[in-house]
Structure 1
């Protein structure tokens, strides 16, 4: 069948009474409704008349749907023949429908090189960083190199059961770690680990008095100290200064002795606070991307959509939103769009979201408007707590 045949089949339906909806509808209005009215006026039982009328309406509906089915089939046939006769050439309309190799454009290739260089520098693999700097025109920031070297040194020290570099860093950045709206508990967990590695009960208590009493309002310091006093004689007390399993609620359950697990948790906590201090991303962006694409199955879904839909809808790599759901673990579900609850406007790079002391989030422009009139603090629109301009933190989604 070609286009002419499909159009002829469609035209023949217009002259056919079997596919016309006007015939059944006219019969229903002119005949059945008129007869029903006359019978009711003549004194017949209305219930019997209405019951018969309902049957006639259902029969009329079936006849109309039958005719429409034929029309829909003929229209679908015309559409298929048009697609066959005029195949889409979307690539000639716009470059967005082209399907070039990934990272073929210079901007994309440079962005990929930057992501790889940042990942290598963040991990402290300096030989690879220097090799990439020689092969590309990129260079790793000396200040970021110093910070990354410091981070890797402290993480290595934690793995080696030496917490002093981490504690010294916490002391140097105590004002940041204790600042609202979310003061860090990292110093407490570091001191707690040192406390539990001390063999002598008296020395352990003295250490707690000197370093941990400031955490009484928010942490179970007294519970930790009393657990040291009432240890079972069978409890093994570490003598080598390494991590011991949790004897209180924290990283491990009582008596587990999961030294490796506690070390990993301390490293994770320290790295998060270090990145927050210097406004680095919480996780390595390249690592997250590779994990989502390879392990999460996202890449397979996108490539399948590209193959199936690309012929008619264009290159899915150019889309801002995907037309299908991709499998993501809860930790990888990011909210890339924030709408200010005050101005009802979407946040941008020039108008980023700001978190107040109470934890509520509004856009920066809304925050600045609330600061007008010489005010030094802003009262939260949702609670009575106030926030100064220096304390409000920018959020990165």
Structure 2
């Protein structure tokens, strides 16, 4: 479990009445005490009323302890996630860079404050944004805040099964989403989610919805296959035709239906989370925002990516010969990065050693190797229909080579 997941789990507990200590206490005060007073005024035996109230207090105590146990477990997971994410010698590493202190230059300090402010706004923590604006000279742009709030509203709506705001945003930004070189499939997947939701209750309504909203995706998406599968789902409940049903069989069938319903709910939630992620990516692309939070990426590379440990090891081993590491313009070491953090702003053809351009784009061969278009064309000289990869014996035809976008 990473830090973000642990914090999300802790936040979920804070919004749940079942794990809040105030919930059982409020129920005890508002209901049990009031009910006991009314019973005494109505003439019930006070001793009986007090005994019942004591039982209610014991039950409340157990509920509070149960909620606190969940809280302590979630807090423990946060601590474990932090210890796992960051190097155990983080304090010693920090002390090694105190002379001069990091981010002591005004430009560096302002840049750090700006990154933190942007990260807070990206997460919608507007109280923290307001506090940081008071403590610094920075101001979060109003237009960017409006867009961030719009994004959060749409994502929250998706997670609550309301896809209308997302579909409205797609309709407003339809020219952008349909623009080449890589048009978005987000509108189709949103309509598909609405279609599948309708199909579980009313197949006729689902088919009518598909005809009205999804036929434009037929050339690029399996719309007809989706509609056909709706007609043959096989979800009709078989009847027992008046035959007696054994109680154990009926209970097993009930348990099976409950398990199926739980599986459907879980699949639906996973589908909504995937839609929310897709919309967030397209929203960031639309307004040229980073797809990932830069502050989160930097922390991830320094902690789980291992950059801090590698740099610290180099400082200890090589600083005696090369001087303080803070004076180095380049690191004479390789910092390994996880696959998800390997970014490529440009592509250099390994054959021609030239950067790819719009007229000379990168092409991926059948084997997975990538070379530039001009290099691939040179391999196809002489009227050949396929070319052998310069790095392996696998051949690729001209129609199969796929263009890549970085």
TM-score strictly above 0.5? yes
SS at match of 1:139: coil
Which of the two has greater helix per residue? 2
Shift of residue 114, structure 1, vs aligned partner: 0.6
Question: Could you say if the C-alpha distance between residues 145 and 354 of structure 1 is closer, same or farther in structure 2, counting changes exceeding 3 Å?
Answer: farther
1:124 is matched with 124
Q: Structure 1 residues 266 and 318 mapped into 2: Cα distance closer, same or farther (>3 Å)?
A: farther
Instruction: Go from structure 1 to structure 2 and tell me whether the alpha carbon gap of 1:320 and 1:210 turns closer, same or farther (over 3 Å shift).
Output: farther
Deviations 1:171-197 (A, max 9, x none): 000000000000000000000001000
Consecutive unaligned residues of structure 2, counting only runs of 5 or more, are 1-96, 238-262, 364-372, 378-404
Aligned residue number for residue 274 of structure 2: 265
Aligned equivalents of 1:256 and 1:146: distance in 2? 32
Alpha-carbon offset, residue 124 of structure 1: 1.3
1:325 to 310, 313, 334: 334
1:230 alignment counterpart: 232
Contact 1:178 1:184 in 2 (8 A): yes
Q: Per the alignment, in what secondary structure is the counterpart of residue 258 of structure 1?
A: helix
Deviation of residue 260 (structure 1)?
A: 2.4
2:303 counterpart SS class: helix
Once residues 375 and 175 of structure 2 are traced to their aligned partners in structure 1, the CA distance between those partners, rounded to angstroms, is 27
| C-alpha distance in structure 2 between counterparts of 1:345 and 1:147, whole Å | 39
| 1:381 to partner: Cα distance | 6.9
User: In 2, distance between residues paired with 1:124 and 1:320?
Assistant: 37
SS class of match (1:305): helix
Q: 1:181·1:359 contact (CA, 8 Å) conserved in 2? A: no
1:282 and 1:207 map into 2 onto residues whose CA distance is 32
Distance 1:153 1:354 in 2: 38
Question: Relative to structure 1, is the Cα distance of residues 321 and 203 closer, same or farther in structure 2, using a 3 angstrom cutoff?
Answer: farther
The answer to whether the aligner puts 1:311 opposite 2:310 as a matched pair is no
Task: Quote the residue 2:170 is aligned against.
Answer: 170
State the alpha-carbon separation in 2 of the partners of residues 205 and 307 from structure 1: 68
Please list the CA deviations of residues 274-301 of structure 1 after superposition, one character each: whole Å capped at 9, or x if unmatched: 0000011111100111111122222111
Partner residue in 1 for 2:210:
208
2:139 is aligned to 139
| Root mean square deviation, CA, Å | 3.2
- Bigger Rg over Cα: 1
2: CA distance between counterparts of 1:233 and 1:180?
A: 40
The aligned runs of 1:73-112 (5 Å cut-off) are: 100-112=100-112
Give 1:234 deviation, angstroms.
5.7
C-alpha distance 325-309 of structure 1, shift in aligned 2 (>3 A): same
> Does the C-alpha gap of structure 1 residues 218 and 153 become closer, same or farther in structure 2, counting only changes over 3 Å?
same
Partner of 1:289: 298
Aligned to 1:372: none
Q: Which residue number corresponds to residue 310 of structure 2?
A: 301
After superposition, the C-alpha distances for 1:319-365 in whole angstroms (9 at most, x for unaligned) are 45432233321110123565699x9888xxxxxx8757x9659xxxx
> Structure 1 regions of 5+ residues with no counterpart?
1-96, 236-253, 347-352, 362-379, 385-394
- Separation in 2, partners of 1:98, 1:313: 19
Equivalences, count: 247
Change (3 A) 1:337 1:320: farther
Distance 1:344 1:214 in 2: 42
- Aligned 8 A contact 2:191 2:213 in 1: yes
Shift of 1:161: 0.8
Shift of 1:312: 1.8
Partner of 2:221: 219
Shift of 1:256: 9.3
- 2:190 corresponds in structure 1 to 190
Secondary structure in 2 aligned to 1:311? Answer: helix
Distance 2:349 2:228 in 1: 48
Aligned to 2:240: none
